[in-house]
A and B are shown apart, each in its own frame.
Chain A
Amino acid sequence: MSSSTIATGARMAPVAQRRTLGVSRAELRWLMWPPLLFFVVALGLPMVALVMQSLEGGGAAYPGMFSVPAFLGSLGRTLLMALVTMVLTSILGAVYGLALVASPAWLRIVLLAALMLSLWTSVMVRSFGWMLMELPKGAIYWFLGLFGLADEPLEIYQTTFGMYPAMIAVMLPFAVLPIMSALQSIDQEQLKAASVFGAGPLLTFRTVTWPQMLPSIISGAVLVFVMALGFYVTPLLLGGPSNMTISGVINSQLKTANRPDLGAAMSILLVGATILIYLIADRLFRVSEKWG
């Protein structure tokens, strides 16, 4: 054993006995520094490259991006889309999470299996599935036809309205899983106590269940919101060209308009906003600590 280990251990031992016992500096150096260095390379370098690329036109890209006609529209649309997706997904996620702990065992397995199937299959594959549902003569049309409800081909494919069910379905697992784990750790005695003292279902829910769900609902909602800001594939496939998100505009700046500086400036805006929102929410609601 190295002398430094003994020294550190002896110095630390009286202060905090539990975890720090026998933690050496070498240990931290070998465990913590490689991932941190990786973050510098894998996260830091691309961000530096983005800044450099955006400054290529002498900084004109920053005011310039606001004069790109598609940009402001897509900015508003992306924010609205992320907000709507977040709200709907959170509500549905809360109900789903409740049902996961409140339903009989066989149904719980079915609900959980649906969630896991969805989490494990590719986002693109799931978007393809929704395309097949929503195509003018797709599965929804066929289903409505069974009841004689559809006489002409549907017009929901590549509309704003047609985009949301798919986006909610893609995001739902991220909202449900934290809520489910919070509900599973609810103290059963509190619920029993509530019913012993005569509280009805609504009062019990409001005073016992809801306060313990809320932090997880919020952290799920934050995650869904920031992920929806960067959404690309699902809106592209289901929203069509009229529902282009910021990601779509960035892509077209690079691939068709050939303005990498504008694309980089927009990317910085998008990354900056996303990380800022995440960090603020993280400080306020301790989002990261809900994950593991």
Chain B
Amino acid sequence: MSTTVGRSLGPYRLPVIVIAILASLLLIVPFLILVATSWTSGSFILFPPEGFSLRWYGEVLGDRRWMGAFWLSVWESALATLIATILGVAGAIGLTRVRSRAAGRWIRTLFIVPIALPPIAYAVGLYGVNLELGFLRGTLVTLVIGHALVALPYVFVIVSGGIARIDPALRPAAWTLGARWPLILWKIELPALLPYVLSGALFAFIVVFDEVVLAVFLLPPGTQTLPLKMLSAASEAFSPELTAASTLVSLLAIVVLALVPLLTRRRGRRTVPRRRARPVPAVTEGVPE
């Protein structure tokens, strides 16, 4: 279907494709270099790497500080993701019930604005909250709340995209049959949205897991999340240990997100397609289908 656009470009198609291939190298090559340097058997970052060994992976996986930071990141991000997912799904579904168009637009904007929020300014604000409310000092509460806010837009956007694909006749049908809204939500809307909820949650998890600036300001002294550990390792010395850790995290992200289509394929097919396919919501492309 999309080759029509290609054909319409005529002789200009080739340069467009060539530039895009070069741009894709901009995206891939640094990552490949990073992976390659972690295979070195020497003690320094070198490209091309000296020899081949997985020794640095062993060092990272066997180091209690790296693994401690990793597990702290995992559960902190999981908590933030859980909050963001519940609120994001509620907001996306709730927004379809808001009657006023103007209010709807403002609410939609509010849900997306955290993407644009400068992380450092937000972190300073949260840090101020920590100072004012003394009982929060030394806890992870503000970090989790902050991360949940950062993750919320991604869940909201992806689930909103899914809602547009639910058959609009199902809800009134269930309603006229006497189902009240919690039942409709539980039996009709949430099952149809499940693939989108899952991919939204995973996307949010990856985003939060990666976030470092809030962690710089809000982690209690003596604790480190993985990105913070990586950042401080980078400012001390750039070592193969760091590139090995980076590779491991990236692999984890890719594996986790690759699971989405596998987990949701069967369910995804059952959602009723609209007559004319709505443009796929941007962030979700390649994620939930």
Where the two chains meet, the residues of A that have a C-beta atom closer than 8 Å to any C-beta of B are 1-2, 5, 9, 12, 16-24, 26-28, 30-32, 34-36, 38-39, 41-43, 45-47, 49-50, 52-53, 92, 95-96, 98-104, 107-108, 110-112, 114-118, 120-126, 128-133, 135, 138-139, 142, 165-166, 168-169, 172, 177-178, 180-186, 188, 191-192, 194-195, 200-202, 204-205, 208-209, 223, 226-227, 229-230, 232-233, 237, 247, 250-251, 254, 260, 263-264, 266-268, 270-271, 274-275, 278-279, 282, 287-292
Contact = CB atoms under 8 A, between A and B. Distances in A.
Interface stretch (B58-66, B91-99, B265-273): B91-99
A124 to B, nearest CB: 6
A220 to B, nearest CB: 8
A34 B91 CA distance: 8
Interface string B77-94: 000000100111011111
B148 A201 contact: no
Given A46-B129, A115-B24, 12 more contacts: A31-B93, A38-B152, A102-B13, A112-B286, A121-B253, A122-B253, A185-B279, A208-B8, A227-B116, A271-B122, A291-B160, A292-B159
Nearest to A2: B180
B175 interface: yes
A155 to B, nearest CB: 17
24 contacts: A1-B180, A26-B181, A39-B149, A42-B145, A49-B132, A50-B124, A92-B19, A96-B23, A102-B17, A111-B20, A116-B286, A117-B28, A132-B37, A142-B48, A172-B23, A184-B2, A185-B279, A200-B10, A201-B9, A209-B5, A260-B124, A274-B121, A291-B157, A292-B283
> From DSSP, what is the main secondary structure of chain B's interface residues?
helix
A232 B8 contact: no
Contacts of B238: 128, 131
Contact of A267 (B28, B29, B125, B234): B125
Interface of B: 1-13, 16-17, 19-21, 23-24, 26-31, 33-34, 37, 45, 47-48, 83, 86-88, 90-99, 105, 107-122, 124-129, 131-132, 145-146, 148-149, 152-153, 156-161, 164, 168, 171-172, 175-176, 178, 180-181, 206, 209-210, 212-213, 216-217, 227, 230-231, 234, 238, 242-243, 246, 249-250, 253-254, 257, 277-286
Contacts, number: 372
Top 10 nearest A-B pairs by Cβ distance? A230-B118, A129-B30, A46-B125, A49-B128, A31-B94, A99-B20, A201-B10, A102-B6, A22-B175, A32-B94
